[in-house]
Amino acid sequence: MRRFFFVVLLVALVAAGAVTYALLVPQGPQTPAFVEIVPGTSTSRIAGELKEHGLIRSRYVFVALALAQGRTLKAGEYRFDHPARMEEVWSRLERGDVYTLTVTIPEGSNIFDIGARVEAARLGSKEAFLEATKQDTDLVADLDPKAPSLEGYLFPDTYRFDPHATPREVLAAMVKQFRQSAASIGLTSDYHRVVTLASLVEKETPIESERPLVASVFANRLSRQMPLMTDPSVIYAALLQGRYRGTIYESDLESASSYNTYQHTGLPPGPICNPGVQSLEAAVHPAQTDYLYFVAASADPSGRSRFSATLEGHRKDVQAYRRALRQAARNNRNSEEQP
């Protein structure tokens, strides 16, 4: 009898040691490993998948742990890149800490910029993304029924996507964020005009305090039926035609494109980029000024825009801008010549 109890005790100790070892000693890869749990997979099958990938030591201990915790494990693709205790593995699946791909969209990005970032994040090709921006305009049909694309409605932010996300799912997430941000500033109507104007403002100045002033220039010119004559719209026209060469040429200024605001009065047919909240607010509430001209901060070495109400004042601003360019060039040469 004593021998029997001794054997039972020994087996129990060995089993307890094995369970403790399986639970507490880290197990897993030294290089990234991916496991995809499809919806509806049983806990037993999940444990088998993890064991096959070398992420846990015992499928039976994992099932017991899951039953003891009494919580549902979530489907999705998971990335494991270091040895971990079984409880950490279980916790990740319980939280749904799935593997995602991150895409950051800066303010002022256009659909071409975003497509390149989506492709760089391995979420699909740039070409497929650009095609979807034209095909999936139903995502904003209630906001802008005549939108030629989703340009302007892909809100600048940082996004996390499932690696298998489709272009439409990526676009839908960005449009959803636009809706939330627009609502936060009270934008509830006239989306096409506001977003188009905001996109011009966004491209003309990076300085938040200047955006209402830039918006006022555009508003004043529109009210007088003066052409906006904004370079970013000319660049966008060239991008749409696939002929932008990194600078604006005379042929670009003479282009018949409806986005060429040197040749056509009024706003362009749609947004030329995706503006942030500050530019949207500036388009909704332009400053009250008599300004009709400005030299954009984005081009001026002084780091600020120059505003004027008259053509004579604008000419003086242009001269000051050119002097600033020459001075900046001299400063650069002097710094390069110094040992």
Spatial distance between the Cα atoms of 191 and 172, rounded to a whole number of angstroms:
17
- Say what the pLDDT of residue 5 is: 54
- Say what the pLDDT of residue 71 is: 84
- Say what the pLDDT of residue 27 is: 81
Q: How far is CA 78 from CA 37, 38, 106, 158, in A?
A: 8, 11, 28, 20
- Say what the pLDDT of residue 7 is: 47
Q: Which domains does the chain have, with CATH numbers?
A: 20-95 (3.30.1490.480), 101-184 (3.30.1490), 191-332 (no CATH)
Side-chain half-sphere CA neighbours of 144 within 13 A = 25
- Say what the pLDDT of residue 23 is: 65
If you compute the radius of gyration of the chain from its CA atoms, what whole number of angstroms results?
Answer: 30
Strand partners, 308: 293
Start-to-end CA distance of the chain, whole Å, equals 93
- Say what the pLDDT of residue 13 is: 47
Strand partners, 78: 35
Residues of the chain scoring pLDDT < 70: 1-24, 297-302, 328-329, 331-339
Q: Considering the entire predicted model, what is its pTM?
A: 0.81
Please state, rounded to an integer, the average pLDDT across all residues of the chain.
89
Q: How far is CA 295 from CA 227, 278, 280, 322, in A?
A: 16, 20, 21, 11
